[in-house]
Amino acid sequence: MCGIIGYVGKKCTAPILIDGLKRLEYRGYDSAGLAIVSDGRIASEKAVGKVKRMEDAALAQPGFMKLCGCGIAHTRWATHGAPSEVNAHPHFNMDHTIAVVHNGIIENYQDLRRRLEAKGCKFASQTDSEVIAHMISEAYQGDLLAATAAILDQLNGTYGIAVVSSAQPGLIVVARKGSPIVIGLGEGENLVASDVSPLLPHTRQVIYLEDGDIAAITAEKVDLRSVKNVPVEREVAKIDWDAGAAEKGNFAHFMLKEIFEQPESIANAIRGRVDHELGSAILNGMNLSPRELAQITHIVIAGCGSSMHAGLVGEYYFEDIAGISTSVEQAAEFRYRNPIIEPNTLVIPISQSGETADTIAAVREAVQKGAIVTAICNVVGSTIAREAGRGVYLHAGPEISVASTKAFSSQVVMLLLFALRLGRNRRFSRSDGMLLANEIERIPELVREVLAQAPQIEKIAKRYAHNENFFFIGRGCLYPAALEGALKLKEISYIHAEGYHAAELKHGPISLLDEHHPVVALANDIPGKDKIIGNIQECRARRAPVIAVATRGDKQVLEMADAVIEVPPCSRFVAPLPTAVALQLLAYYTAVERGCEVDQPRNLAKSVTVE
């Protein structure tokens, strides 16, 4: 997993590449490097750590920042080889005339490396990526595109690569198999990247490569071909994201900005999709007729991390509202356990980026087994969106922080709209549908009410931030919210946090409770509250501090909890959303209090594009 950026044009290259890397740093930040073709050679710089360290090293090189022409750059999340300067990309052939940046994993790299070493090739790194540079060098006979195409069928695994050669200045060659590559089309310049974020300041016109595509990119032209050297055409897409949406603005962190963007991002997800007259939802991207919807007998939701937690909320929605049996699968498990997909099964893959490797594999497995597949993702033109062939976009805008916030809430909203649409197609009455439609329209305002309590939540976070263990407990559709709250806390504050169904507390976990083990109890005033009250009392009996999320004005919870985060009254179907936002704020302020790197937590990357 990594971020790739490349530029070819007349402008000074290093500043563009470095700015692009900063916009991609959420994809990897173990090390960074760049290579620029200039004056018949490849000038390069690498550094361990964040992009800023590499930028400082480049600034220290006289004239480096004024080099113009073409170049490629990379920010790394280590897979093969520890973070180090020699393992940082770009990687080079032995005479330093070819440079490569690579995202993905070359599974047979050891066999390829042994073959190359037997021919006298000397390797500088421990990475799988370096073999690509040496193989292209071996095949090179004056045509970088042909040399790159010649070696691709020898690479087992996944790759998104960008290649330059000092012998062909003004040319970048890119290729894709299982790892995203996007070409940005400019005027008198062109760019390439692993996602659209670094392209936004330069262009809104992009081409998404598909697996098996290879392209030769100059300042004036993009020559797009298959690896069989057959010209191919790909649609030019327009990106409607605001470039400022990928910047922090006045917020201390991207995560805080994205938490506070949720009223708007949720409104974008809802806009134009609620039919108040029929008490239903309008989801044209599903591309399924009422008859086809009525024939669905089972739903499988596939996702990873926060997307899987959103899917678990959706499981309650589909079964309670639509009356359709639903299962939620970890996307990697879906692929490898050979799932039973019966006729009329709807598979819903969920991914913010649309490039999650395990979820892409789940889509392909579902299609292979004859399922109806309709995706939920945020990025237009992404692999999952294309391969599913139908689905809906979140319209949440770019999410930069590694910890998902606005994408998660938009996914939950989209699943609720899905369930409403399917429910009205079945047993859900028009009057009940109209009530739920009104509740859905209220969600942005409910979230605003939670955000207004940020100062109070910050005080609670500071009070408990230095505990090393937390439990989160919930029931019904708040159980997945407990899982998501625990995930947020652990990934950005490095606190050991576990989410449990509250009924499971007595089946083992309660043995760990003491005065140093806070419990976050989701005690909203919805069905099941009486049971969670009992769980709170059990925790208090073991001297565990209890932080309760409760409906505003609930004196019963206020009297028994050590701290209370209030959320506005709402239905049980809507309750996971304001609750999740409250837990996001709790996790954020806890991480800040502990001095953690909120946007780029250690060992994590935003988009998991390798298995």
68-102, pLDDT tens digit by residue? 889 999 988 767 667 788 999 999 999 999 999 99
Torsion (CA) 281, 306, 395, 2 in degrees, nearest 10: -150
Mean pLDDT of all residues belonging to the chain: 92
The pLDDT assigned to 223 comes to 95
**Dist CA 473 CA 142 (whole Å):** 63
Residues written for the chain: 611
Residues 378 and 485 placed together within one structural domain of the fold = no
Show which of 207, 239, 271 is a domain's final residue: 239
Q: Is the pLDDT of residue 306 over 80?
A: yes
Write out pLDDT tens, residues 432-452. Answer: 999 999 999 999 999 999 999
DSSP SS3 for 232: coil
The pLDDT assigned to 247 comes to 72
- Among 112-116, 143-147, 425-429, name the one with the lowest average pLDDT: 425-429
Q: Is the pLDDT of residue 335 over 60?
A: yes
Tokens read off for 342? 């019966």
Residues 442 and 458 placed together within one structural domain of the fold = no
Give the residue-averaged pLDDT of 569-582.
97
Residues 12 and 116 placed together within one structural domain of the fold = yes
The pLDDT assigned to 199 comes to 92
Instruction: Tally the C-alpha atoms within 13 A of residue 79's C-alpha that lie toward its C-beta.
Output: 21
DSSP SS3 for 326: strand
Q: In 352-468, where do the E strands start and end?
A: 372-373, 375-377, 391-393
Residues 186 and 209 placed together within one structural domain of the fold = yes
Backbone angles phi, psi at 233, to 5 degrees: -115, 140
DSSP SS3 for 248: coil
Give the residue-averaged pLDDT of 551-576.
95
Show which of 428, 448, 468 is a domain's final residue: 448
Tokens read off for 562? 């050590």
Residues 258 and 193 placed together within one structural domain of the fold = no
pLDDT band at 28 (very low <50, low <70, confident <90, very high): low
Pairing verdict, β 375-377 and 372-373: unpaired
Q: How many domains are there within the chain?
A: 3
pLDDT band at 502 (very low <50, low <70, confident <90, very high): very high
Query: Which range of residues forms the domain containing residue 176?
Result: 2-239
The pLDDT assigned to 340 comes to 83
CB 132 within 8 A of CB 175: no
Tokens read off for 453? 């309590």
pLDDT band at 611 (very low <50, low <70, confident <90, very high): low
- Among 15-29, 62-76, 540-554, 586-600, name the one with the lowest average pLDDT: 15-29
Output the domain CATH number for residue 229: 3.60.20.10
Residues 275 and 206 placed together within one structural domain of the fold = no
- Rg, C-alpha atoms of the chain: 25
CA torsion sign, 280 to 282 to 287 to 289?
positive
CA torsion sign, 419 to 421 to 425 to 427?
positive
Residues 495 and 607 placed together within one structural domain of the fold = yes
pLDDT band at 325 (very low <50, low <70, confident <90, very high): very high
CB atoms within 10 A of CB 236: 12
Q: Is the pLDDT of residue 3 over 90?
A: no
Q: Is the pLDDT of residue 276 over 70?
A: yes
Show which of 174, 205, 239 is a domain's final residue: 239
Burial of 606 (0-12, 13-18, 19+ CB in 10 A): buried
Q: Please state whether the peptide bond connecting residue 90 to the residue before it is cis, i.e. omega within 30 degrees of 0.
A: yes
Got the DSSP string for 174-209?
Answer: EEEEBS--EEEE-SS-EEEESSSGGGTTT-SEEEE-
DSSP SS3 for 237: strand
The pLDDT assigned to 451 comes to 98
Residues 303 and 387 placed together within one structural domain of the fold = yes
CB atoms within 10 A of CB 208: 24
Residues 258 and 393 placed together within one structural domain of the fold = yes
Write out pLDDT tens, residues 122-134. Answer: 999 999 999 999 9
CB 173 within 8 A of CB 5: no
Output the domain CATH number for residue 322: 3.40.50.10490
Residues 298 and 416 placed together within one structural domain of the fold = yes
Residues 344 and 484 placed together within one structural domain of the fold = no
Tokens read off for 468? 């090393």
**Dist CA 334 CA 318 (whole Å):** 19
Q: Which positions are annotated as active-site residues? A: 2, 606
**Dist CA 244 CA 199 (whole Å):** 12
pLDDT band at 600 (very low <50, low <70, confident <90, very high): confident
Residues 165 and 192 placed together within one structural domain of the fold = yes
Write out pLDDT tens, residues 187-217. Answer: 999 999 998 889 989 999 999 998 999 999 9
The pLDDT assigned to 82 comes to 76
Tokens read off for 109? 């790299």
Q: In 49-189, where do the E strands start and end?
A: 68-76, 91-92, 98-103, 159-165, 172-177, 182-185
**Dist CA 246 CA 521 (whole Å):** 34
